[in-house]
Amino acid sequence: MNVDVWLFKTFMAKRKLVEIAHARSGDKGDTSNVGIIARRPEYYPILVREVTAERVKEHFKGVCLGEVERFELPNLGALNFLLHEALDGGGTLALKADPQGKTYSSALLRMEIEMENGA
């Protein structure tokens, strides 16, 4: 094990995103938007580092069939994600129990991230 990996394993811990962020989601057609907000300013860089568009796409595997776009709002300590093709056609066409993706906000907060111990 090299030193970098050792340091990382010792000082980093797996945490659920819900511990450091809150969120709200909504819809525009077949696209769901999920906004996540750092609970403290010092958590925002962790969101930027950990919650990448690629990881969000993987997290919503089987649900989001299109691309994931990410936008940064450093002034609000927030990230906004657009999940394309995530609502079964969207609006009235969808047969889903949650056709507006209202529960995708906390779905994203289930994500496990790496953060510094004690942060």
Partner 1 sequence: MIRIANGQGFWGDSLEAPVEQVRRGPIDYLTLDYLAEITMSILQKQRSRDPRAGYARDFVEMIGRVLPDLVERGVRVVANAGGVNPAACRDAVLEIARKQGIEIKVATVAGDDILPRLDDFLARGVELKNMETGEPLSAIRERVQSANVYFGAFPVAEALDRGAQIVITGRVTDTGLALAPMIHEFDWQRDDWDRLAAGTIAGHTVECGAQCTGGNCQVDWETIPNMADIGYPIIEAEPDGTFCITKHAGTGGRVTVASVKEQLLYEMGDPREYITPDCVADFTSIHLERCGPDRVRFSGIRGREATPFYKVSVSYAAGYKAIGGLVYAWPDAYKKARAADRILRERLERIGLKFDAMRTEFVGANACQGIPSAEPSAEVAPELAEVMMRMGVRSNDRAAVERFTKELAPLALNGPPVVTGFGSGRPKVEEIVAYWPALIPKSEVVPEVKLAVNERQ
- Per CB under 8 A, residues contacting partner 1 are 22-30, 33, 35, 37, 39, 59-63, 71-78, 80, 82, 88-89, 91-93, 95-98, 103-107, 110-111
Nearer to partner 1, 39 or 49 (CB): 39
CB of 93 to partner 1, least distance (A): 6
Nearer to partner 1, 46 or 79 (CB): 79
d(CA 112, CA 18): 9
CB of 10 to partner 1, least distance (A): 26
Nearer to partner 1, 60 or 115 (CB): 60
Place of tokens 């507006």: 100
Q: How far is CA 54 from CA 1, 66, 68, 70, in A?
A: 27, 12, 7, 9
SS3 of 3-51: the string is HHHHHHHHHEEEEEHHHCEEEEEEEECCEEEEEEEECCHHHHHHHHHHC
Place of tokens 């994500």: 111
Nearer to partner 1, 69 or 119 (CB): 69
